[in-house]
Structure 1
Amino acid sequence: MDYDSRTDAALAGTDLAADSVLTDAEEDRQSRRRTILIILGAIVALIAVFFALHGFGAKEEEKKDQAPRVTVVAPGAATVEGSINVNGSLGARREMPVGVVGEGGQVRSVLVEAGDWVSAGQVLAVIDRSVQTQQQAGQGAQIQVSEADARLAQANLERALKLVDRGFISKADVDRLTATRDAANARVRVARATYGQIGAQIARLNIVAPAAGLILERKIEPGQVVGGGSGVLFRIAKGGEMELRAQVGEVDLAKITAGVTAEVTPVGGAKKFTGQVWQVSPVIDPASRQGFARIALAYAPELRPGGFAAAVIKAGSMVAPLLPDSAVLSDNQGSYVYIVGKNNKIERRNVKIGLVTDKGIAIAAGLAGSERVVLRAGGFLSPGETIQPIVGKL
């Protein structure tokens, strides 16, 4: 009885052990299945995230909403007036320095002031001439002496000629008297020439204006001793004409021709003066790469020589598309713009810049004017990128 009970118990224990082994194997299979399912789920989730980030499977409207919104314009074509902004110094167009042309001396009086208008030949200053006046008086007396000698020589000759036929005077005496008469007449001419020379020297003691104009500067006072080495005593603007000597870069200088108009505004003033370019520098400074454009101006009290002024020079006109600065980009390949092509994709278009004005940049080549051009923010775009174009205004 006891044996059978032990046998049954052993059999029961064996069955329990077998059941335990079966249960552990089943749990391993189930654990592996759960692991595989988790891995598959993670893979599916990653794939879904990938497609979501790259827009695969998104609706066309959603893809459109994700494209950047960019303002574009169709510039068309317009007549563009070119202009060049320059700066420079004001001065007389034709400045005439005036000094002493004679032997000089002490200044007796000065008859003009800076800012006065003078006519050609007008006396500006008078130099003492007391010595020269006495010399001229003495030479006048010498003329009278020479003329008296000449009259006496002529009378002697005439009397001798009457006595030749009677034989009282020889032919040699007549020749001698003729030579004496001719020498006396020559001395008269010399005396008169000397008198005229002294008169010219006296006239040169007056400092006179060589031409009509405006006195810009006076450097002479009564009592001052002046001479040939005294330098410039007056400066005169011929006709009162002024000019602006504008410094211009060599690129812009090539666009300027004589005869074009310009508007000049002196520093510190709001009034504008209209002038005309009358000379373009024939040379370029190799150091600064600049030349001069000389703008002729009529006289005005506001135009003071030596002052500084700004000018806008007309540089011709052209019919071309006009774009703002923000639309035109540049790199090592040159200037370019971005236009909107097929399917609203960005395309690069190389252009050639023409006239530059206050209203924008004229495109000389590369655009017809009907293209949709990116107005701004082109630096953040790249060719081939899709955008949402928004039509703007220039």
Structure 2
Amino acid sequence: MNRLLFVVALLCPVFVWPVSVSPAFASAEEAGAPPAGPRPAVSEIVTADPTRERMFPGVIEAAHETNLAFQTIGRIASLDAAPGDLVDAGQVLATLDRVSLQEDVASAEAALSSARAAADFAEQSYSRARALADRDIATKADVEKAEANRNATAAQVKAAEADLTSAREALSYGSLSAPEAGVVLDTPVEQGTVVSAGTTVVTLADLKGREAVIDVPSEFLALLAPDAAFRLSGHEGADDPVMARLRLIEPVADDTLRGRRLRLAIDDDQDRFRIGSLVSATYAAVGDEIITLPQSAITGGPDQPTVWRVTGPARTVNAIPVTLGSAIGDRIEVMAGVSVGDEIIVKGANSLEEGQSVGERAQ
């Protein structure tokens, strides 16, 4: 039994736990890890440049366009206009086949002659029936029948007269003239085409006005005043910009571009740009400064939005409450809280603490 206990004691080692820590190990643990350096972050210097991300491509169009059409059906005999042509007021742009129109007039005249002859005969028949009835030779029914025939033929005469008037007017409508001086934009039909009344034959642009047409994001409309000003520059960039004013915001949004179309009336120098010229429109904000920041710079939630401002040589950050305005794409308007020249953290803002240092801003 004693031998068995001796074997068990050999197989089970005895552990001795220390009751104190050496001074060398204790000082190392108390020292801890070395302090962390400045936290990396991305910042932006606040500016009030109203042209920032507010330049849009556009095209010059006429302020007034007119679709010209014939007032009668016919075949186009001549088309003396082409896109780009300058025309004068009263200039003949297209004509219809006058042969067919004259045939219509002749047919209407013949129909009127026939109707008048029938009306004269009906009038004579009615007179004879009345005379015979007075002598008790014709019955009352015969008189009524003759009277009805007289009335019917008289109505046919009026209808034939109206047809003749219409045919003569159609003959006078055989020429399509320019109502005013302008430039031809389009001729959607060709010579020899049979057109009905109202079919557009020539699209004419008035020379008296020009406007620029641009497409902008729907969010951009929040910044625009009713008479917002824009600067128009040609793609060549050689001439000074031309000022334009917002005339119309088209009510229907573009499903493809997910934006809105603006029409800008050119204030002066309307002859600077030709119709169809490509331009760049820059929003020329006036009045109060417009400050925007990326939405990634905003922290603190919708009830108390804040941003982190970098201050001092140590580049420490401080939380600044701000008042927000309208969203403009991935940026948002800041109404109060920051000023031009402030350095604001725009990336990494959610992981900062008050008074924390950030790295140097990359130039």
With structure 1 as the length reference, what TM-score do the two structures score?
0.55
Equivalent pair of 2:56/2:282 in contact (CA under 8 Å): yes
**What is the aligned length?**
284
Q: Residue type of the partner of 1:262? A: F
- Paired residue for 1:245? 213
Aligned equivalents of 1:123, 1:205: Cα separation in 2: 10
Deviation at 1:140, TM superposition (A): 1.3
Matching residue of 1:183: 152
1:25 match: none
- Inter-partner Cα distance in structure 2 for 1:213 and 1:349: 64
8 A Cα contact 2:62 2:207, kept in partner: no
* Alignment map for 1:225-304 (pairs within 5 Å): 225-228=192-195, 233-237=201-205, 240-268=208-236, 270-282=239-251, 288=257, 290-297=259-266, 300-304=270-274
Please give the alpha-carbon distance, in whole angstroms, between the structure 1 residues aligned to 2:182 and 2:172: 23
Residues 283, 239 of structure 1: alpha-carbon distance in 2 compared, 3 angstrom cutoff: same
CA displacement at 1:179 relative to structure 2: 2.3
Structure 1 residues 250 and 182: CA distance shift in structure 2, 3 A: closer
Aligned residue number for residue 338 of structure 1:
310
For the 8 Å contact 1:267–1:309, the answer to whether it is kept is yes
What residue in structure 2 maps to residue 91 of structure 1?
Answer: 61
SS, match of residue 309 in structure 1: strand
Q: 1:159 and 1:225 mapped to 2: Cα distance?
A: 55
- Tell me how far apart the structure 1 counterparts of residues 294 and 106 of structure 2 sit (CA, whole Å): 85
- How far does residue 114 in structure 1 lie from its aligned partner after superposition? 1.7
1:312 has 2:282 as partner: yes
Q: 1:365 aligns with which of 325, 336, 342?
A: 336
Name the stretch that deviates more: 175-184 or 164-173.
Answer: 164-173
1:224 matched to 2:172: no
Structure 1 residue runs of 5 or longer lacking an equivalent are 1-74, 356-361, 376-381, 386-394
Distance 1:336 1:352 in 2: 14
SS in 1 for 2:154: helix
- Cα 1:134–1:317 shift into 2, 3 Å: same
Aligned-partner Cα distance in 2 for 1:203–1:280: 41
The 3-state SS of whatever aligns with 1:317 is: coil
| Other-structure match for 2:13 | none
Partners of 1:181 and 1:283 in 2: how far apart?
60
**Cα distance in 1 between the residues matched to 2:123 and 2:252:** 70
Normalising by the residue count of structure 2, what TM-score does the alignment of the two structures yield? 0.59
Please give the alpha-carbon distance, in whole angstroms, between the structure 2 residues aligned to 1:285 and 1:125. Answer: 36
Percent of aligned pairs with the same amino acid:
19
Task: Determine the C-alpha separation between the residues in 2 that align with 1:285 and 1:127.
Answer: 39
RMSD across aligned positions (CA): 4.6
Secondary structure in 2 aligned to 1:237? strand
Stretches of 4+ aligned residues off by more than 6 angstroms: 328-331, 352-355
Q: What is the distance in 2 between the residues matched to 1:213 and 1:92?
A: 13
Q: CA deviation at 1:201?
A: 4.0
- Kindly indicate whether the alpha-carbon contact (under 8 Å) linking 2:108 and 2:163 is maintained by their aligned counterparts in 1: yes
Letter in 2 for 1:165: D
Following superposition, the deviation at residue 208 of structure 1 comes to 4.8
1:224 is paired with a residue of what secondary structure?
coil
Q: Which has the higher helix share?
A: 1
- Structure 2 distance, partners of 1:291, 1:93, is 18
Who is 1:3 aligned against?
Answer: none
- CA drift of 1:196 comes to 3.1
Give the letter for the 1:199 counterpart.
Answer: R
Counterparts of 2:110 and 2:230 in 1: how far apart (Å)?
A: 64
Deviation by residue 1:122-158 (Cα, 9 ceiling, x = unmatched)? 7521122112203312321331332233234324433
1:106, CA displacement in angstroms?
4.5
Instruction: Determine which structure has more spread, i.e. the larger CA radius of gyration.
Output: 1
